[in-house]
A and B are shown apart, each in its own frame.
Chain A
Amino acid sequence: MTAETRTDLTEDQRDALQEIANIGMGQAGSLIGKIWGEFVNLSIPRIAHLDRQSIPAALTRLVGDHSVNAVRQAFHGSIRGEVVVVFSGGRDDELRELMGYEEADSVEEQELLLDVANILVGACLGGIAETLKAEIGFSAPSVMGLDISPALLIRPDELNSGRALFLEVRFTLEKKSLASHLVVLMPEDEFFVLGQALDTFLASI
């Protein structure tokens, strides 16, 4: 127990991360607006430390108990983790239009989800990483599940990390039905690195 509590971010660090996330989401919103020409609503990010057993329940609480499509994408560099994008609304034709698919293009629904998720993840994480002065890259996104219960997206017994940092943002588009949740998950052994980066940030202001 003591080891786990010690690895959690301190209150100062958490406040700093909250602040950075708020700024990051603001930037992300305007960037996405530039790309899609749509006004984006982003919720204030919520940060929590979660034991792995409580992650499925947290996901269900976030997105509601109905079946969803989900995409995951890893980020790596000076900090690393995974992002899960859960789509709980959004019509195919609207997404196609956003991504610039022509009427005649044949497109797999999965590619559409991957493309949209890549933009959301890139915008949000990019903002946070830039503020933190962390250099990060992304690996290709992949589909986690289609038409699946959110509780089944992440199986606690398959997680390597006992505890995770959970940063959640909700997206909606002003004029389209797209609604999604973006959940950043960072493993326990990254808490220290992140904490250091946050300390550096705190020292610089």
Chain B
Amino acid sequence: MTMPVAPPTELLAFTVDRIEVGVFAVDRDFRIVLWNRFMATHSKRSVADVVGRNLFECFPELQQKWLERKINSVFVLKNYAFTSWEQRPFLFRFHHNRPITGGVDAMRQNCTLLPLKNASGEVELVCFTLADFTDTAMYQGCLNDAIVELEQEKSAQQILIKKLEDAQGQLLQSEKMASVGQLAAGVAHEINNPIGFINSNLGSLKTNVEDLLAVIAAYERADTVLAGHPDLLGAIKMAKTAADLDFLQSDMQSLISESLEGVHRVKKIVENLKDFSRIDNAEWHYANLESGLESTLNIVWNELKYKTEVKKEYAGLPEIECIGSQLNQVFMNLMINAAHAIAERGVITLRTGFDESSVWVEVEDTGSGIKPEHLKRIFEPFFTTKPVGKGTGLGLSLAYGIVQRHHGALDVKSKPGEGSVFRVTLPRKRVIEDVGGGVGP
């Protein structure tokens, strides 16, 4: 194998001078010994101007201490050293190669420091090569911008996904509520029939008993006639005493009227249940919110009766077009929350009012109130401060969703320790949504 012919020195010198890379070299005293055309052109300092002079004298803007150490390390270690535009945009402030299109303030540079050794292996000079990385830097900048944009889009999508999940949760809950309502209505319907005949039978029984007692009273008038038959009279008296007839007479009547009263109450509850769930009526219709409040109150009465006094301040609302069964759910959630807020004893006030365009319903309690930091979050799905098992955190968000669908507003005022007021404001006339709109809250 023959050694390749070494290129002529002039060719090498020409190449170093003309190559589109900055090339310069310094000796141990940082005197410039080589300065190629690229360096001269971009620094506007000619070879004659700089060669033989100290690098830091010629370019006082260089970071002297740092660069001296860097150059020294190359002399000592006989090693390469580098600077990269990513960490250090440039060593020399040169104009970039985009005088027209622009984009950056100065040429981005990657530098390599090379040890130039003499025959005995000592480093005599440190040679710098300085490559223009402006284009790369600009592409990188564009890429970074694109990445930032993508990240932003990604987080926006994340938020959307979260919203979708919330909406699904609400949907599930309202579905559940709807089937509970359906079930309740079904049960109510089934109970209605037997209650009907029990009611009418009890009515008949009442008349029958009264008639029977009248007959007994008529017989009693024959007691004087029976005086001649002491054995017969004795037997009757014994039977009367044994049955405690006097008590029986009064008790039978009260038993029947109490039973009738009970049946009436069952009928009322069944009516309320049907009224509340209104599977027959899950559509927009005209309804009176105050009667909705009443039937809802009857449903939740068990939750309220032991610790609350319920005050009603009704303004006599006009009927409005709404989905009554859904609004009843809102009222129920508000009433149950009010009851939960009251620890020992308190007052719940149901208040209504209206003007020419809207009606409102307020549920006020004298309970514990809501902490200011929680106020912003109470309508978020799954947000609850109630102990595990007592609240799902869905009630208010559900209520909020329903009120939104009615194009109304659900507002809250609260003072910790004093209580809260929730106000549902609804338009008197239904707002018809645009086609394609109205997908969830």
A-side interface residues toward B, CB under 8 Å? Answer: 31, 34-35, 99-102, 105, 108, 110-111, 114-115, 118-119, 122-123, 126, 130, 137-138, 140-142
Given the known A-B contacts A35-B72, A140-B82, A140-B110, are A126 and B77 also in contact in the complex, defined by CB atoms under 8 Å?
yes
Q: Nearest A residue to B88 by beta-carbon distance?
A: A111
A105 to B66, CA, bound (A): 9
**Chain A: minimal CB distance from B189 (Å):** 65
A123 to B76, CA, bound (A): 9
Given the known A-B contacts A100-B65, A140-B112, are A108 and B80 also in contact in the complex, defined by CB atoms under 8 Å?
no
**Chain A: minimal CB distance from B157 (Å):** 27
Pair B79/A138 contact, Cβ less than 8 Å: yes
Q: How many residues of B contact A (CB 8 A)?
A: 23
Pair B77/A122 contact, Cβ less than 8 Å: yes
Given the known A-B contacts A102-B63, A105-B66, are A118 and B81 also in contact in the complex, defined by CB atoms under 8 Å?
yes
Told that A108-B87, A111-B84, A122-B81 touch, could you supply 14 new A-B pairs with CB distance under 8 A? Answer: A31-B77, A35-B77, A100-B65, A111-B87, A114-B82, A114-B84, A114-B87, A115-B70, A119-B77, A122-B80, A123-B79, A126-B78, A140-B82, A140-B112
Pair A118/B76 contact, Cβ less than 8 Å: no
Given the known A-B contacts A101-B65, A102-B66, A140-B112, are A108 and B88 also in contact in the complex, defined by CB atoms under 8 Å?
yes
Interface residues in B142-197 by Cβ distance below 8 A to A read none
**Chain A: minimal CB distance from B28 (Å):** 14
Pair A141/B87 contact, Cβ less than 8 Å: no
Interface residues in B240-299 by Cβ distance below 8 A to A read none
Would you call B229 an interface residue if the criterion is a C-beta within 8 Å of the partner chain's C-beta atoms?
Answer: no
Interface residues in B399-433 by Cβ distance below 8 A to A read none
**Chain B: minimal CB distance from A156 (Å):** 27
Pair B76/A34 contact, Cβ less than 8 Å: yes
Pair B76/A31 contact, Cβ less than 8 Å: yes
Residues of A near B72 (CB, < 8 A) are 35
Q: Nearest B residue to A142 by beta-carbon distance?
A: B84
Residues of A near B112 (CB, < 8 A) are 140
Would you call B376 an interface residue if the criterion is a C-beta within 8 Å of the partner chain's C-beta atoms?
Answer: no
**Chain B: minimal CB distance from A100 (Å):** 4
Residues of A near B88 (CB, < 8 A) are 108, 111
A186 to B87, CA, bound (A): 28
The winner among A35, A105, A110 for most chain B CB atoms within 10 A is: A35
**Chain B: minimal CB distance from A79 (Å):** 16
Residues of B near A108 (CB, < 8 A) are 87-88
Would you call B73 an interface residue if the criterion is a C-beta within 8 Å of the partner chain's C-beta atoms?
Answer: yes
A105 to B77, CA, bound (A): 25
A96 to B401, CA, bound (A): 59
**Chain A: minimal CB distance from B80 (Å):** 4
Pair A122/B87 contact, Cβ less than 8 Å: no
A16 to B77, CA, bound (A): 23
Residues of B near A35 (CB, < 8 A) are 69, 72-73, 76-77
Mask for B55-70, Cβ within 8 A of A = 1, else 0? 0000000010111111
Q: Nearest B residue to A33 by beta-carbon distance?
A: B76
Residues of A near B82 (CB, < 8 A) are 114, 118, 140-141
Residues of A near B68 (CB, < 8 A) are 100
**Chain A: minimal CB distance from B247 (Å):** 89
Q: Nearest A residue to B112 by beta-carbon distance?
A: A140
Q: Nearest B residue to A96 by beta-carbon distance?
A: B66
Pair A123/B65 contact, Cβ less than 8 Å: no
Pair B79/A118 contact, Cβ less than 8 Å: yes
Which of B63, B66, B80, B87 is A118 in contact with, Cβ under 8 Å?
B80
Given the known A-B contacts A140-B82, A140-B112, are A101 and B66 also in contact in the complex, defined by CB atoms under 8 Å?
yes
Residues of A near B78 (CB, < 8 A) are 126, 130
Residues of A near B70 (CB, < 8 A) are 99-100, 115
A141 to B112, CA, bound (A): 11
**21 residue pairs A–B, Cβ–Cβ below 8 Å:** A31-B76, A35-B73, A35-B77, A100-B65, A101-B66, A108-B87, A111-B84, A111-B87, A111-B88, A114-B84, A114-B87, A118-B81, A119-B79, A122-B77, A122-B80, A123-B79, A126-B77, A137-B80, A138-B79, A140-B112, A141-B82
Q: Nearest B residue to A32 by beta-carbon distance?
A: B77
Residues of B near A142 (CB, < 8 A) are 84
**Chain B: minimal CB distance from A73 (Å):** 9
